[in-house]
């Protein structure tokens, strides 16, 4: 694959605040990148620096090998879709999409036939063919999102940056738009970079997921790797799908947390000392407290509190030692939910090979 966008050692300061800290990353042509990180980690700043709305304090950005330094936002060939959509409220859907073609600084399109053809092509791509004459105040939130996208795409950008584009939509629409965005990107064959604070969204949408923490890139990999092998305990924490035990490694293959002690398969960098032991919600088996663990299993005792059903999966909440909340997830596509009785004690069991230990 070839890099379309190369971000090299970019730093952005706001006063004393380091929003981007010597960040380097390359985007490949024709890929979907999700940018994930907690609030304040620098995701929006990175998009704004790439788009040209903000100037980096250090570092350089190259688009297809050409430096973007000094090139204003509207001449970069980079599209930007914001959470608020920023449509012109008094104009029709068609005119909102046509606006950029008619009014751009360089070579505005004057031929109405060409405008109609290009706008209609984009409206068809985003599934709004029959709504061109509607005012943008007469369409739904999901449709506004599509107009915002069509308006950006009609300018033929090389890259589209999407800043929490689904944040304003309700859950149903959000999952429909996820599928749509991936389809549209595949049809156009251009690169999308999608900022989200939602780990599920990042993992389902991205060909690769880039994780930001305090203005630094802490991991970039395919979703499966990020999910199964987070680069650090902090990444595991943002993913919000790991139970985490703070404690100490002893003897190279034993982890002690509170009153519990788990054997683990030592990683290459295993060392005695403080560490964090992580086991994913969906890697845990719940058994009656009286049941003996199977050979090779480890676990803890915990009291069942409550469950939360969410269609494809069910989350069970337990209270372990020191009032620690432990979560267990069953994916219902391949098993039935279990009934546990609130207030009763159970054994939460897993295989040591499924645990991750960070130092
Ligand atoms: P995210 O999009 O991941 O929530 P941002 O890129 O918005 O993070 O912010 C990164 C850091 O930069 C935060 O600490 C934020 O407070 C700071 N920041 C962002 N924009 C500004 C600004 N215009 N003025 C001052 N500080 C800012």
Tell me: do 67 and 94 sit in the same domain.
yes
Ligand 1 binding site (Cβ under 6 Å of any ligand atom): 14, 17, 19, 37, 39-45
Residue 225, CA distances (Å) to 43, 101, 115, 195, 208 in order: 21, 41, 44, 19, 9
Tell me: do 285 and 224 sit in the same domain.
no
Torsion angle in degrees (nearest 10) through CA of 145, 147, 149, 150: 160
Q: pLDDT tens across 212-230, in order? A: 999 999 999 999 999 999 9
Handedness of CA 309, 314, 315, 318 (dihedral sign): positive
Tell me: do 228 and 268 sit in the same domain.
no
Q: pLDDT tens across 262-302, in order? A: 876 656 566 778 889 999 999 999 999 888 767 788 889 99
Tell me: do 275 and 226 sit in the same domain.
no
Instruction: Name the pLDDT band for 303 (thresholds 50, 70, 90).
Output: very high
Do 59 and 173 touch, CB atoms closer than 8 A? Answer: no
Pairwise CA distance, residues 6 & 75, whole Å: 17
Tell me: do 222 and 247 sit in the same domain.
no
Q: Which of 14, 18, 44 to mutate to test the pocket of ligand 1 (most atoms within 8 A of CB)?
A: 14
Tell me: do 97 and 167 sit in the same domain.
yes
The DSSP secondary-structure symbol of 310 reads: -
Residue 334 pLDDT: 80
> Does residue 36 carry a pLDDT above 80?
yes
| Helix or strand run (H / E) with residue 58 | strand 58-63
pTM of structure: 0.87
Residue 12 pLDDT: 98
- Is 216 a member of any domain? yes
- Is 238 a member of any domain? no
Q: Between 207 and 173, name the one with better pLDDT.
A: 207
Contacts of 256 (CB under 8 A, 6+ apart): 247, 248, 249, 250
Tell me: do 124 and 258 sit in the same domain.
no
**Rounded mean pLDDT of 167-188?**
83
**pLDDT above 70 coverage of the chain, percent:** 97
How remote is the CA of residue 325 from the centroid of ligand 1, in Å? 31
Tell me: do 265 and 333 sit in the same domain.
yes
Tell me: do 92 and 174 sit in the same domain.
yes
**Nearest ligand 1 atom, CA 15:** 25
Tell me: do 295 and 217 sit in the same domain.
no
Last residue of a domain, one of 233, 261, 281: 233
For residue 145, the domain's CATH number is: 3.40.50.300
* Total domains, the chain: 2
Q: Which of 15, 16, 17 to mutate to test the pocket of ligand 1 (most atoms within 8 A of CB)?
A: 17
**Rounded mean pLDDT of 177-197?**
90
**Rounded mean pLDDT of 222-244?**
93
How remote is the CA of residue 40 from the centroid of ligand 1, in Å? 5
Q: pLDDT tens across 78-112, in order? A: 999 988 778 899 999 999 999 988 887 777 888 88
Domain that residue 320 falls in: 243-358
Q: Which of 36, 40, 163 to mutate to test the pocket of ligand 1 (most atoms within 8 A of CB)?
A: 40
Tell me: do 123 and 256 sit in the same domain.
no
How remote is the CA of residue 8 from the centroid of ligand 1, in Å? 20
Tell me: do 202 and 248 sit in the same domain.
no
- Is 189 a member of any domain? yes
Last residue of a domain, one of 184, 215, 233: 233
- Is 346 a member of any domain? yes
How remote is the CA of residue 57 from the centroid of ligand 1, in Å? 14
> Does residue 47 carry a pLDDT above 80?
yes
Cα-only R_g, the chain: 24
Residue 269 pLDDT: 61
């Amino acid at each position: 694959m070839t890099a379309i966008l190369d971000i090299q050692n970019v730093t952005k300061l706001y006063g004393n605040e380091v929003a981007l800290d010597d960040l380097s990353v390359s985007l490949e042509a024709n890929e979907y990148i999700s940018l994930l990180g907690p609030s304040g980690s620098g995701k929006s700043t990175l998009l704004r620096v790439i788009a040209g709305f903000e100037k980096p304090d250090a570092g350089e950005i190259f688009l297809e090998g050409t430096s973007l330094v000094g090139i204003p936002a509207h001449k970069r060939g980079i599209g930007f879709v914001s959470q608020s959509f920023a449509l012109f409220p008094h104009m029709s859907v068609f005119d909102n999409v046509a606006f950029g073609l008619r009014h751009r600084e360089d070579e505005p399109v004057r031929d109405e036939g060409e405008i109609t053809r290009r706008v209609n092509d984009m409206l068809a791509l985003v599934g709004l063919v029959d709504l061109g004459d509607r005012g943008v105040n007469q369409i739904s939130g999901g449709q506004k999102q599509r107009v915002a996208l069509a308006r950006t795409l009609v300018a033929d950008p090389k890259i589209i940056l999407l800043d929490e584009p689904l944040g304003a939509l309700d859950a149903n629409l959000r999952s429909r738009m996820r599928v749509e965005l991936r389809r549209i990107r595949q049809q156009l064959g251009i690169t999308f970079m999608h900022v989200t604070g939602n780990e599920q969204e990042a993992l389902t949408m991205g060909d690769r997921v880039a994780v930001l923490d305090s203005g630094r890139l802490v991991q970039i990999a395919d979703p499966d790797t990020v999910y199964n092998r987070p680069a650090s305990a902090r990444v595991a924490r943002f993913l919000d799908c790991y139970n985490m035990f703070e404690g100490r490694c002893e003897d190279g293959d034993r982890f002690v947390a509170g009153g519990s002690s788990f054997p683990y398969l030592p990683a290459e960098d295993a060392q005695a000392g403080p560490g964090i032991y992580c086991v994913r919600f969906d890697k845990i088996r719940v058994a009656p407290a009286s049941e003996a663990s199977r050979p090779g299993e480890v676990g803890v005792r915990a009291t069942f509190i409550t469950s939360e059903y969410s269609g494809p999966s069910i989350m069970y909440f337990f209270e372990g030692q020191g009032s620690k909340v432990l979560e267990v997830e069953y994916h219902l596509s391949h098993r039935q939910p279990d009934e546990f009785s609130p207030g009763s004690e159970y054994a939460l069991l897993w295989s040591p090979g499924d645990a991750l230990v960070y130092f």
